[in-house]
A and B are shown apart, each in its own frame.
Chain A
Amino acid sequence: MRIFGILACVVGLVAGGFFATSNSSAHAVETVKIGLIEPLSGPIAAVGTDALQAMETAAEQINTSGGVLGGRMLEIVPLDNAMSAEKTTQQLKKAVDLGLSFIAQGIGSNHALNIIQFIGKHNKRNPDKAMLFLNHSAITTAFTNELCSFWHFRFDANVDMKVAGLVTQMGRDVGIKKVYMLNQNYAYGKSFQAAAHALIKERTPNIEIVGDELIVPFGKTQDFTPFIAKIKASGADTVLTGNWGPDLVRLIKYAAGANLPVQFYTIYGGLTSSVAGYGADAHKISLKQINEYHENDGNIAADALAFGNAYLEKYKDTWYSDRYRWLVGMLAAAIDKAGSDDPVAVGQALEGLTFPGPLGEVQMRASDHQIQTPLMVSSLSRDYKMPIMYKGNNFKIAFATDGVINREDTTLPTTCDMQRP
């Protein structure tokens, strides 16, 4: 029986290999390649690997439904930058050598900025070999404001849009009177802080900011007790924070340990790695996140749910970062619309393109290449149908919807003055 199984495998491998070879020899020049530059080794490799898996799942879906331009397949080319600036540049040069027209990236805004600048120069010097940058998660607002470029498209809501969503949801809760802000002292944390000040003043003038703190980022702050004491002393009922990683996990754990009676409004509180870090303390706190959707909401579009389910089936991980599906799906639609994979034509086709998202239509705004999308605020909850899963482990907790933020409420003006080719 076992021998038979092995035989079957071998036959399958040979046959698969044969078909794959015949396939690639026939269409070798015809796959549309997307280079994905992410940390696939080093301390943040887990995040990079997740991004690669999501991109591959999305590309597979397009390919099983016939690919693009009447039968050409999409192919994701992984390029490891190990989260280092030099390696990002090396991989960009490699992408040029491979003749890739489409580059995707998203982990680390500093690397995204590097790519924007590299591609800007490259396209000026080699207009016949231009490249497009498809940004899935780098959310520094400036990329679609003063630093905007025709060659850059962002498929994730930027910091200001996410803060706008959080503040809008805070405005719906009449119990919120006093908010304490705690952020990481670097570019991202400061932009969160600035956006929160402006948006609270504009949208929820009745909410008082009773504290505004910047902390030394990236895990260097070990003891959060004094911050917890200050939050308590300020009388705040809500903490608004852009923190992520250990800076968020420790804040939550210390707050839970001291039974601090506040709710947390976060961008990244729902990342699987953070939820893993809270451990049992996740049950003791009120934590909210803002993102595209979560799997326990009853009103999610079937396509998004199907993508999440396919991912869960394959990798045993819960997945709700639907933007990877938008990126690949919209690229495929733009290629079909342009009738070619010429990057300039595809870029023009992407402008203003719409796509069915989990909460309604999303659209790539032509003026600054920033996706316009509804968002969802949800809380950690023990009342769920599907728990959060990671590598097959059941976290016995999941998210429940607090509110949907309509597209009108996440749409913000842009200062972009775009130069077009």
Chain B
Amino acid sequence: MEVFVFSLFNGVLYGMLLFLLASGLTLIFSMMGVLNFAHASFFMLGAYFAYQISQPLGFWSALIAAPILVGLLGAAVERYMLRPVHRFGHVAELLFTFGLAFVIEELVQMVWGKVPVPYDVPESMNITAFAWQGLDYSAYRLFMLVISVGIFVALFFGLTRTRIGLIIRASLTHPHMAAALGHDVPKIFMWTFGVGCALAGIAGVIGGNVLGTEPGMAIQLGPIVFVVIVVGGLGSLSGALIASLFIGILNNMAISYDFSLYPIFKELGVERNVEGVLADLVNLTTGSIAPLLPYLLLVLMLIFRPRGLFGMRDV
């Protein structure tokens, strides 16, 4: 029971970071229908900007300034690059963001080099908040949790309870009507894209110093974010939250309990020392494939419920 609760807690900590990253992606998708392949690249830029800004000015300035910079950059990308591509349809947009991810990675390598940069957790929060099962949890881990929950609450209420949220949602479903009522739809799209990128930027600022800030971080984290939004349902904020938490907890449980398929094979009369293809399967434990389980979930979800947990439309 103790292990269960412990894994649950650790899973939530990791899941909320995934949510922070996925929230921006799902926001952009739900508002604009653009599947942004470069989303994880904006996450990476957030981490690098935060590293650069925190060197002279400290972490707190970076926490404010880096997401704003990433957001402005995102808005500029939408205004000057994505918008001209928009009229060629979603495939063109998708290919554009796909290419953009590689461009950003190369630029990051040119500016900050190919080895990781020493972006650290701020000293003031690198203190033990509490210990559980012999592991110390720093105040920073709790801070990450608080920020992520705060962002979810703010986004949820912003979109469903405010006038701006109403206009944004109207622009998505009825762009021509919204435009006829005098709203500048392209401008709304630009700022939606900017805010989505800024959210990825925040994830970069608070996650980069825990996961390590290096040019490969976008490529490593990119695919898992797509799993989150597909499983949660494309465009659903609550779905992204549930899916992130589920994937975080699944990852922790798979490693903590480390289930093996061996007992099943034993029943079937297959022993551990079997040769050939079966050998890998018999000796497989969930711990050794934990980061791959979400992709299994993705495949199953697409087969049995293509719209995801809370999605309004099929993928």
Q: Which residues of A contact B (CB under 8 A)?
A: 43-46, 185, 213-216, 218-223, 225-230, 232-233, 246, 249-250, 253-254, 257-260, 272-273, 276-281, 390-391
Which chain B residues numbered 124 to 163 have a C-beta less than 8 Å away from chain A? Answer: 126, 128, 133-138, 140-141
Q: Which one of B121, B214, B290 contacts A257 once the chains associate, using CB atoms below 8 Å?
A: B121
CB of A56 to closest CB in B, whole Å? 19
Q: Which of B116, B140, B217, B292 has the most CB of A within 10 A?
A: B116
Q: Which one of B6, B14, B117, B288 contacts A222 once the chains associate, using CB atoms below 8 Å?
A: B14
Which chain B residues numbered 101 to 124 have a C-beta less than 8 Å away from chain A? Answer: 109, 113-121, 123
Q: Which one of A223, A250, A260, A390 contacts B251 once the chains associate, using CB atoms below 8 Å?
A: A223
Q: Which of A220, A250, A390 has the most CB of B within 10 A?
A: A220
Q: How far, in whole Å, are A296 and B291 apart by their CA atoms in the complex? A: 40
Q: Are B252 and A46 in contact (CB under 8 A)?
A: no
Which chain B residues numbered 83 to 107 have a C-beta less than 8 Å away from chain A? Answer: none
Which residues on the B side are within 8 Å of A390 (C-beta)? 115
Q: Are A276 and B220 in contact (CB under 8 A)?
A: no
B215 within 8 A of partner (CB): yes
Q: Are B220 and A219 in contact (CB under 8 A)?
A: yes
Name 28 interchain pairs, CB-CB below 8 A, sorted by A: A45-B114, A46-B114, A216-B291, A222-B14, A223-B10, A223-B248, A223-B251, A225-B135, A226-B251, A228-B135, A229-B133, A229-B135, A229-B256, A230-B255, A233-B134, A246-B212, A246-B216, A246-B217, A246-B220, A250-B211, A253-B212, A257-B141, A258-B135, A259-B128, A259-B135, A277-B212, A280-B120, A390-B115
Q: Are B121 and A276 in contact (CB under 8 A)?
A: no
Which chain B residues numbered 214 to 246 have a C-beta less than 8 Å away from chain A? Answer: 214-217, 219-221, 224
Q: How far, in whole Å, are A281 and B120 apart by their CA atoms in the complex? A: 8
Q: How far, in whole Å, are A98 and B62 apart by their CA atoms in the complex? A: 53
Interface residues of B, count at CB 8 A: 49
Closest to A279 in B: B118
Q: Which one of A43, A46, A221, A257 contacts B291 once the chains associate, using CB atoms below 8 Å?
A: A221
Which residues on the B side are within 8 Å of A277 (C-beta)? 115-116, 118, 212, 214
B7 within 8 A of partner (CB): yes
B210 within 8 A of partner (CB): yes
With A223-B10, A249-B212 given, can you name 6 additional A-B contacts, CB distance below 8 Å? A222-B221, A226-B10, A232-B133, A276-B116, A280-B121, A280-B123
In the complex, per-residue mask of B55-71: 1 if CB is within 8 Å of any chain A CB, else 0: 00000000000000000
Q: Are B136 and A259 in contact (CB under 8 A)?
A: yes
B13 within 8 A of partner (CB): yes
CB of B215 to closest CB in A, whole Å? 7
A222/B10 contact (C-beta < 8 A), A216-B289, A276-B115 known: no
Q: Which one of B136, B210, B256, B288 contacts A215 once the chains associate, using CB atoms below 8 Å?
A: B288
In the complex, per-residue mask of B190-226: 1 if CB is within 8 Å of any chain A CB, else 0: 0000000000000000000111101111011100100
Q: How far, in whole Å, are A257 and B255 apart by their CA atoms in the complex? A: 19
CB of B2 to closest CB in A, whole Å? 10
Which residues on the A side are within 8 Å of B126 (C-beta)? 280
Which residues on the A side are within 8 Å of B221 (C-beta)? 222
Which residues on the A side are within 8 Å of B133 (C-beta)? 229, 232-233
CB of B89 to closest CB in A, whole Å? 32
B287 within 8 A of partner (CB): yes
Q: Are B291 and A260 in contact (CB under 8 A)?
A: no
Q: Are A216 and B292 in contact (CB under 8 A)?
A: yes
Q: Which of A43, A215, A229, A250 has the most CB of B within 10 A?
A: A229
Sort A-B residue pairs by CB-CB distance and give the 7 closest, nearest first. A279-B118, A277-B116, A46-B114, A226-B255, A273-B115, A219-B220, A259-B136
Which residues on the A side are within 8 Å of B210 (C-beta)? 253-254, 257
Which residues on the B side are within 8 Å of A45 (C-beta)? 114
Q: Are B224 and A279 in contact (CB under 8 A)?
A: no
Which residues on the B side are within 8 Å of A281 (C-beta)? 120
Q: Which of A44, A258, A281 has the most CB of B within 10 A?
A: A258
Q: How far, in whole Å, are A289 and B248 apart by their CA atoms in the complex? A: 32
Q: Are B216 and A232 in contact (CB under 8 A)?
A: no
Which residues on the B side are within 8 Å of A222 (C-beta)? 14, 211, 220-221, 224, 291
Which residues on the B side are within 8 Å of A260 (C-beta)? 135
Q: How far, in whole Å, are A228 and B116 apart by their CA atoms in the complex? A: 22
CB of A150 to closest CB in B, whole Å? 32
Q: Are B7 and A226 in contact (CB under 8 A)?
A: yes
Which residues on the B side are within 8 Å of A185 (C-beta)? 288
Closest to B9 in A: A225
A249/B252 contact (C-beta < 8 A), A222-B14, A229-B10, A257-B138 known: no
Which residues on the A side are within 8 Å of B117 (C-beta)? 276
Q: How far, in whole Å, are A152 and B10 apart by their CA atoms in the complex? A: 48
Which residues on the A side are within 8 Å of B251 (C-beta)? 223, 226
Closest to B117 in A: A276
Q: Are A226 and B256 in contact (CB under 8 A)?
A: yes
Q: How far, in whole Å, are A98 and B36 apart by their CA atoms in the complex? A: 46
Q: Are B220 and A223 in contact (CB under 8 A)?
A: no
Closest to B7 in A: A226
Closest to B223 in A: A220
A232/B292 contact (C-beta < 8 A), A219-B220, A277-B116 known: no
CB of A24 to closest CB in B, whole Å? 33
A213/B291 contact (C-beta < 8 A), A258-B135, A273-B115, A280-B118 known: no
CB of A299 to closest CB in B, whole Å? 30
CB of A78 to closest CB in B, whole Å? 17
Which residues on the A side are within 8 Å of B214 (C-beta)? 246, 249, 277
A214/B288 contact (C-beta < 8 A), A230-B256, A258-B136 known: yes
Which residues on the B side are within 8 Å of A233 (C-beta)? 133-134
Closest to B116 in A: A277
Q: How far, in whole Å, are A167 and B113 apart by their CA atoms in the complex? A: 35
Which chain B residues numbered 268 to 315 have a C-beta less than 8 Å away from chain A? Answer: 287-292
Which residues on the A side are within 8 Å of B116 (C-beta)? 249, 273, 276-277
